Structure 1
Amino acid sequence: MTDSGSESVLRVEGITKNFGPVKVLRGVDLHLEPGEVLGVVGSNGAGKSTLVKIITGYETPDAGQIYLDGVPVELRSVQDARRHGIETVFQDLALVDELSVYHNLFLNREMTSGGPFRLLNNRRMREDARRYLDEIQVNIPSVDVPVEKLSGGQRQAIAVARATRREDVKILLLDEPLAAMGAKEAKLIIDLVRSLARTRQVSMLVIDHNYTHIFELCDRVNVVEQGTVTLDKRTDETSLAELTEFMVTSYRQQIEEESA
């Protein structure tokens, strides 16, 4: 869901990044609207991962500018990006299997009781975890269960819930969120993504190699090839067949250029 009348929540202009003599990004332009889910696809080595690392503050660009809500920013670290409301859920999810659902939701941001000993306020964390999961319609029977007991879709949902629990989170980057999931598990994440975009206006950038997932999750798709965005289309204005054909043609052209 998008609001075309609003300032882009994220705008990337002319981003370049070199690693030694290798030109990874060659002037990337990208925008993300409030409440929009944008899919980013491309072949291995196209520059997708580097672009994500720049947006999350893990890498700094050599040139170009990032704007958040129309304001130019410099994201010097992952912590800096988080302070600007940018969170990421990578494929490994970074969950602690032995800990409960509610402890994972508050991992590294635990609530403590008053007094000199600063004890964990488990009761409040448990209550807040249950309330938030109910609010975003994540059906977990008990917040006390260790996450290692959950299904793959439920674990992904907990990772997304942890990343978006703070009200100031505006942008969420998802790395192959439907990987190795069956239809039932995938539907849980698809519904969660759509709900967060619609009700919380969280804007999401989804990196995925599976084009079918892009059409299930995203409002718009960008193709990154050879360090630039070569296609920008709404998913309801293109098709899986058209996107596949575009990628095959791009790959053939790249091979021809390299062999010339």
Structure 2
Amino acid sequence: MTEATRTPILKASGLVKRYGRVTALDHSDFDLYPAEVLAVIGDNGAGKSSLIKALSGAITPDAGEIYLDGKPQKFTNPMEARLAGIETVYQNLAVSPSLDIVDNMFLGRERLKPGFLGKYLRMLDRKSMQEDARAKLSELGLLTIQTLNQPVETLSGGQRQGVAVARAAAFGSRVIIMDEPTAALGVKESRRVLELIKDVRSRGMPIVLISHNMPHVWEVADRIHVHRLGKRIAIISPKTHTMAEGVAIMTGALDPNDHPAGAYVA
């Protein structure tokens, strides 16, 4: 099935975001299809972060449209995007170190006990949360962790990122966005996160991967969105373009149309 006949699960059209005289997004387009890993690459200052912030509700575009499952969306904050099913995993290991794994998994989504205890005494249903946390971590192969009650600060960087990914996979019903998920990790831990990405994709969940690590991008991405000067300039494939060609397109050294395989140019 071609892109022309497929329906994007998440789509943006003509996004504009200005900060005074600086144009961060210049009529930028975006398409994410079901069950794929779409990598977003671009040089520093290209507008990648602004694009992702717009898609995840962290900023409101000055112009343009965002569609989820074909329906227009107007996110005014990240919680609205999360409620719509868009979860984001940030590069700075966005977990609360002093809280345990279960508390981090359900942070902001704590469950109350049924009946009087929950409604009036606001008591947490820790048993239910622990069971679901264990099931999700086990599903993703992350139960090498000693106990779910240990503080996250006692985990390795890879395990912390694994908790963040498990949280996103547990609550992201439509899309998971990963912003430089391996940036703070070593080689072994990065490998585990890449395997997690592949595992989540195999379960049918589409992923947006923002990364400066080109070998990682070429390993896991199905398509690559090249961002430059505030807009998408091309969509390329790891199967038809080398890393060197991708970097050349990203920096403007190569026109996407000059490549033998061609490229979708926005």
Tell me the TM-score range normalised by the shorter chain. Answer: 0.7 to 0.9
Pairwise mapping of residues 160-199 of structure 1 onto structure 2 (< 5 A)?
A: 160-166=165-171, 169-199=173-203
In the alignment, residue 18 of structure 2 is paired with which amino acid? N
- 1:149 matched to 2:154? The reply is yes
Instruction: Please give the alpha-carbon distance, in whole angstroms, between the structure 2 residues aligned to 1:170 and 1:250.
Output: 36
- 1:219 matched to 2:222? The reply is yes
CA contact (8 A) 2:57 2:80 kept: yes
Shift of residue 14, structure 1, vs aligned partner = 1.3
Shift of residue 161, structure 1, vs aligned partner = 1.0
The alignment partner of 1:179 has SS state of coil
Q: TM-score when scaled to structure 1?
A: 0.88
- 1:16 matched to 2:25? The reply is no
- Which residue of 116, 124, 127 maps to 2:131? 127
Shift of residue 198, structure 1, vs aligned partner = 1.4
Instruction: Please give the alpha-carbon distance, in whole angstroms, between the structure 2 residues aligned to 1:249 and 1:54.
Output: 25
In the alignment, residue 137 of structure 1 is paired with which amino acid? G
Shift of residue 81, structure 1, vs aligned partner = 1.1
Shift of residue 180, structure 1, vs aligned partner = 3.5
Corresponding residue of 1:257: none
Instruction: Please give the alpha-carbon distance, in whole angstroms, between the structure 1 residues aligned to 2:174 and 2:110.
Output: 21
Instruction: Please give the alpha-carbon distance, in whole angstroms, between the structure 2 residues aligned to 1:124 and 1:240.
Output: 46
Shift of residue 248, structure 1, vs aligned partner = 4.2
Shift of residue 111, structure 1, vs aligned partner = 2.0
Instruction: Please give the alpha-carbon distance, in whole angstroms, between the structure 2 residues aligned to 1:145 and 1:216.
Output: 33
Shift of residue 9, structure 1, vs aligned partner = 0.4
Describe the shift of the 1:141–1:237 C-alpha distance in structure 2 as closer, same or farther (beyond 3 A): farther
Shift of residue 181, structure 1, vs aligned partner = 2.4
Corresponding residue of 2:262: none
Deviates most, 230-239 or 116-125? 116-125
Instruction: Please give the alpha-carbon distance, in whole angstroms, between the structure 1 residues aligned to 2:35 and 2:177.
Output: 13
Corresponding residue of 1:246: 249
Corresponding residue of 2:107: 107
Instruction: Please give the alpha-carbon distance, in whole angstroms, between the structure 2 residues aligned to 1:47 and 1:10.
Output: 18
Shift of residue 246, structure 1, vs aligned partner = 2.6
Instruction: Please give the alpha-carbon distance, in whole angstroms, between the structure 2 residues aligned to 1:216 and 1:126.
Output: 34
- Which residue of 207, 212, 218 maps to 1:209? 212
Instruction: Please give the alpha-carbon distance, in whole angstroms, between the structure 1 residues aligned to 2:19 and 2:231.
Output: 16
Shift of residue 229, structure 1, vs aligned partner = 1.0
Shift of residue 119, structure 1, vs aligned partner = 1.8
Corresponding residue of 1:258: none
In the alignment, residue 119 of structure 1 is paired with which amino acid? M
The alignment partner of 1:236 has SS state of coil
Instruction: Please give the alpha-carbon distance, in whole angstroms, between the structure 2 residues aligned to 1:127 and 1:83.
Output: 22
Corresponding residue of 2:259: none
Corresponding residue of 2:34: 34
The alignment partner of 2:196 has SS state of helix
Q: How many equivalent residue pairs? A: 248
Instruction: Please give the alpha-carbon distance, in whole angstroms, between the structure 2 residues aligned to 1:230 and 1:37.
Output: 18
Shift of residue 120, structure 1, vs aligned partner = 2.1
Q: Deviations over 1:93-143 (max 9, x none)?
A: 321112211121111212222323222222222222111111222233321
**% identical aligned pairs:** 39
In the alignment, residue 164 of structure 2 is paired with which amino acid? A
Q: Deviations over 1:59-98 (max 9, x none)?
A: 1222221111122222222122112111111122321112
Corresponding residue of 1:136: 140
Unpaired runs of at least 5, structure 1: 252-260
